[in-house]
Structure formats: C-alpha cells, structure tokens
Structure 1
Amino acid sequence: MRHPSTYQFLPTRGNKFSRWVGRVGLKLFGGWKIIGELPDIPKAIIPVAPHTSNWDFFVGLCVKLALGLRLSFLGKHSIFVFPVKGVLTWLGGIPVQRHSAHGVVGQIVQQFQEREQLVVVIAPEGTRSKVTEWKKGFLHMASNANVPVVPVAFCFATRSILISAPMEVGDDTEAALTRIKSFTNKATGKNPELQ
C-alpha cells in the first residue's frame, strides 16, 4: 500500500491514526485487500461498481482512510444544511442542484475548472437496486472536463478492491463505458443478484 506522502499530485488527507483506523476497518470487515494503485494525478473521476449494498459505503470509507485520500462525492444541495453541512463538506461532499440550468454535469465540470485538485467518486448505477443501464453523466463530466476515469471495483467474493489504470473518455462515451464495465464486471457485489 503506497504511503500518501509519496504522492505529489493526488489529493491526500489524514495521518497515521486515520490510516490505521482504515486498515483495521478493512480487516474487521473480512480482511479486504487492495489490488492496484491509484495514479498520482490531481484530477479524476472514480466510478465504483458494483453498488449493491450499504456495506459498499463502509468499505469505501475504510479504503479512503487507509490510503489517506481526500475524495469528493456528490450530494443533493438540500442536505447541505446546518448542522450537517460542515461534516458533509469536510468529508468531501459537493452540493449539486439537479434542476440547475447547467445541470449536474455542468456544475461538476465547473468544479474541475476551478480547483487545482479534485477526485470525485461516483456510483454509476445510481442506486443499490438492480438496473439495466448505468447513469452516464460521469462520462460526460470526464469528457467535458478532460479528466480521466479510474474505475474501482469492490469484489465481496474475494474481499478485494480492484483499482484500474486510468482511462481517457474522449468523445466516444459508449466505448469508454464498455471498457469500464469490462473491468468492474470482474467483481461480485455483496448482493450479486442486484448486479
């Protein structure tokens, strides 16, 4: 597991204690191991799949702590209110207005343009329920902001977090989606019947 101090560009956060908490959490949740390494880049979108259980959040939180990462996630602007606003922002939450004139994609592209470092984690299924199609907004965000995607898969069968090499999206979002799914389909979710 790479030490956060060795990253020059990837946003990091935490200390020895928080990294220890993350590692202990991964052990307590069944001995999870991390396979692969995040690239040392300042901006990216991390699509995490399959997303079939609330346990995905807790495993992801432990990974974030263990690796000492500063990651962001999207949330409805209406939940960013006192008294939880400060906590959500500290955790990396970005409030978005779903009905804004620029749409969620435009809002996140603007965030990428305004920040020197930003890594956004997204569950492309958009729900823990079974879906036939992924939401493709994250691909348009990556394409319009000209940032790579770094697919991550949680495999409950092997207790492995699989990290892909970065992928450029470009203009062909369908081809990019196929590449991402071919990586994440290697993993088995907590509730495989919902994949």
Structure 2
Amino acid sequence: MKKNLGKFMLWIAGWKLLSNFSIEDLKKSVIICAPHTSNWDFYYCLACFWSIGIPYKIMIKDNYTKPWYGFIFKSLGCIGVNRKQRNNLVEYTASLIKKSDSMALINTPEGTRSWAKEWKKGFYYIAKSAEVPVVLAYADYKNKIAGVKKIINIEGKTVEEVFKEIEDFYKPEMAKYPKNYNPKIY
C-alpha cells in the first residue's frame, strides 16, 4: 500500500522517481537527505522511500513520539530520542542498525533548513560503527526528480574523503531554496 501511495504522492506533484539500486543495496545503510531547505523535502523523500520500499527509520525528539499522537510519528518510521540526556547517540543508533535485519537510517546532516556553515558528522560515525554504507538521496526541485543516486562505501575512507564525495554530488540548484544551501559542507 505504501508503495502505491508513494508513487501517487510523486505523480500528483508532477515529480519523477529515479533510483538505480535494489532494496538489498539499501536495506542496511545511513541515508543522507539533502539539500534540506524546506519542509516539503520530507514529503518528497517519504514518497520516494515508500515507492522504492526502503525500510527507513528517522531519529526525532521524543516529545513527538510520547504523547497520544505519537503513534502517527512511529508509524512514519520515527524513533524518539531524549536529547536532554547525555547518551552516546552514535553508538546507540549504530547498535540498532547492527541488530536489525533491515534498517536504513535517514539523516539530514545540515541540521536546519536554513543556511548551515557545515554539516554535522554523526552520520559518518554511525555508518562507520555500524559498518554500513552512506546512501545519497535527493529531491531535485529544479527537475522535479526525487531518488537515491549514489552509495558510498566508507570502509577505509576518512571523513574528509567521504565529505568530498558528498560535496561533489549535491548542488544548490537542487534545493527548493538554493540560497539556504551551503555547497561547502565541511
């Protein structure tokens, strides 16, 4: 049902889906969603992931998953995290991926929809600890295309090498609001 709903969501908006990978390639990974300059990014990425059938999870503040309406966020693949507690979120998340048969963690390393000086590096350390690849997903507003374009195997690569590969892929003109995307991510 989600596959058809995702395809319908893209069709109704006049968007196309492009992905060169099978579910097996994506089922255990850390997925980067960028450029992240609008709340609409969530809509297009969700439609894309539903269409492909990616078993994704999203870390969000636990005050969204605890109230009576928390079931809605949980049904969308959200995992609540208490950000006030001191805990090692990288190791916790990596252990969730390792224990799961299939878990693609969605991450927006810009951390904001506004211009960010640099990306947060937690996704790299989660992928490294979980021994999974980093996958580049995108919503290209200029061409009305959403998809999964590249898999980066990070084994033996430094954070700088991985960030350079990512930086070469994402371009400001893909963003809904290009002025809010900093192409220099580190």
Same fold (TM over 0.5): yes
How far apart in 1 are the matches of 2:8 and 2:137?
21
1:180 is aligned to 166
3-state SS of 1:35 partner = strand
2:3–2:53 Cα contact (<8 Å) kept: yes
Do the aligned residues in 2 keep the contact of 1:152 with 1:184 (CA within 8 Å)? no
2:83 corresponds to which residue? Answer: 98
What is the TM-score with the length of structure 2 in the denominator? Answer: 0.86
CA distance in 2, matches of 1:101, 1:114: 22
Residues 65 and 116 (structure 1), Cα distance of their counterparts in 2 relative to 1, 3 Å cut: closer
Q: Give the drift of 1:63.
A: 1.4
Contact 1:46 1:119 in 2 (8 A): yes
How many residue pairs were aligned?
178
TM-score w.r.t. the length of structure 1 is 0.83
Contact in 1 for aligned 2:6/2:51 (Cα 8 Å): yes
Q: How well do the aligned residues superpose, as a CA RMSD in angstroms?
A: 1.9
Shift in alpha-carbon separation, 1:188–1:53, aligned structure 2, 3 A: same
Equivalent residues in 2 for 1:121-132, closer than 5 Å? 121-132=106-117
Q: Which residue of 2 aligns with 1:79?
A: 64
SS in 1 for 2:138: strand
Question: Could you tell me which residue of structure 1 aligns to residue 138 of structure 2?
Answer: 153
Aligned partner of 2:118 among 114, 125, 133: 133
> If each structure's strand is expressed as a fraction of its own residues, which one has the higher value?
2
Alpha-carbon distance in structure 1 between the residues aligned to 2:83 and 2:161: 26
Q: Could you list the runs of 5+ residues in structure 1 that have no partner in the other structure? A: 1-14
Residue 188 (structure 1) shift: 1.5
Deviates more, 1:157-166 or 1:124-133: 157-166
Residue aligned with 2:71, SS: helix
Gaps of at least 5 residues in structure 2 are 182-186
Q: Report matched runs for 1:1-195 at 5 Å.
A: 15=1, 18-29=2-13, 31-39=14-22, 40-41=24-25, 42-170=27-155, 171-185=157-171, 188-195=174-181
C-alpha distance in 1 between matches for 2:146 and 2:71: 29
What percent identity do the matched residue pairs reach? Answer: 27
How far did residue 151 of structure 1 move?
A: 0.5
By how many angstroms is 1:38 displaced?
A: 3.1
Q: Is the Cα–Cα contact under 8 Å of residues 97 and 103 in structure 1 kept in the other structure?
A: no
154-163 or 133-142: bigger deviation: 154-163
Q: Is the 8 A contact 2:6 2:46 kept in 1?
A: yes
Which residue of structure 1 aligns with residue 184 of structure 2? none
- The one-letter amino acid of 1:27's match is W
Q: Output the CA distance in 1 between the equivalents of 2:160 and 2:85.
A: 25
